[in-house]
Amino acid sequence: MKEFNIPAFYRSSVIGAIKENRKDSDPRKKDFTPTVLDFGPVRFFIARHFGFCYGVENAIEISYRALEENPDKRIFLLSQMIHNPEVNNDLQQRGIKFIMDTEGNQFIPWNELKSDDIVIIPAFGTTLEVEKKLNEIGINPQTYNTTCPFVERVWKKSEKLGQENHTIIIHGKYNHEETRATFSHSNVNAPTLIVKNLDETKILGDIILGKLPVSEFEKHFRNRASAGFNPATDLEKIGVVNQTTMLASETQEIADYLKNSMLQKYGEANLKNHFADTRDTLCYATNDNQQATYGLLEQDADLAIVVGGYNSSNTSHLVELCERKFPTYFISSEKEILSHTEIRHSNFHTHELKISQNYLPQKDKVSIALTSGASCPDAIVDAVIKKILSFFEGVKPLAEVVDEALN
């Protein structure tokens, strides 16, 4: 896989060494058991796979290259480069301005942009409408386009489904930049509809089977469907794609549920004419990170810490998995670890920050499951480990423990 040129301050010698060792010993990723770092009074289970993915490193490399190549020009990002505050803050401190927020609300009006400005397309991609607007201004959106190749793969899948006269069902979060971009690209090829979860899918299934009237479609999906969407005809032939950072098991449940609805309506003999049995369109990093988190769930840990941006979809799903077994703390960096007794963390269900007391149990040996999202720098995970180690006495030296884990 390509090696990217990203700033050294995002990397970690500790985490980097662990990842390199696992890659060498298990290149095909057959083993998702975590790496154990045992410091004596505290032990960390480090997920087999986490942190920067291909798409994120590609986006960071292009963004910093844009800064280097255009020292005398105004440089803008359509919205957050990735969902990590440390990365976005650093880019802003270097002079990059955001045109809009993650939900598409405008900070800088289009009429303030000039043809010689630089505009970076974030890793999530953007809509065809925004691309057209930039072209009208005289800005080429492809010059610094950091759209993840795995997002573009979903667009190609949608295009193929549209060419085969399928309606496209997107499993995603309506306001997420990637889902908005995918919807825009899909919409030009076929009728398109977004479902957020299995509950909404069940409503859609009942509409397909005639158990609910068309008025229910208007109630639940009208603002999430393409213009002119006709549930009476546009739900006769469907295919499922997804936002690449969704929970894999939920996407499979949604596809299976809709497949079964079409089976009930049209019968086994006609199923292929009404349901495209598409392969899951999640990116490799989302799959690997989730599989590695399942590996963490097999461990006997006292708590889990998940590090990443609070608006990061892929990170929130790792939190969702960890919560099935452990008290789980979702933090953006080591700065949220306030002391050995207090931690500030996000409740991803309510999107509220809270402070929890006594998160570290009072026992002779504390075990912590640790992972991070695909947009979190390894250096932040490294800092989290060091911050927690500072609360314990008699810990083994970091270099010694890492060396033991690698040999």
Closest-CA residue to 55 (of 145, 139, 173): 145
In whole angstroms, what is the distance from residue 243 CA to residue 170 CA? 7
CB 402 within 8 A of CB 17: yes
The count of other CB atoms within 10 Å of the CB of residue 146 is: 23
- Asked if 315 and 372 count as a contact pair (C-beta separation under 8 A), the reply is yes
Exposed, middle or buried: residue 399 (CB in 10 Å: 0-12, 13-18, 19+)? exposed
Cα atoms found within 13 Å of the Cα of residue 177, Cβ hemisphere only: 24
**Whether residue 178 lies in the annotated active site:** yes
Which member of 86, 178, 320, 336 is catalytic?
178
Q: CA torsion 210→213→216→218, rounded to 10°?
A: 110
End-to-end Cα, the chain, rounded Å: 25
The closest alpha carbon to 15, from 391, 386, 395, belongs to 386
3-state secondary structure of 305: strand
CB contact at 8 A, 313 and 243? yes
Alpha-carbon Rg for the chain in angstroms: 23
Q: How far apart are CA 102 and CA 311, in angstroms?
A: 9
The residues annotated with a catalytic role in the active site are 178
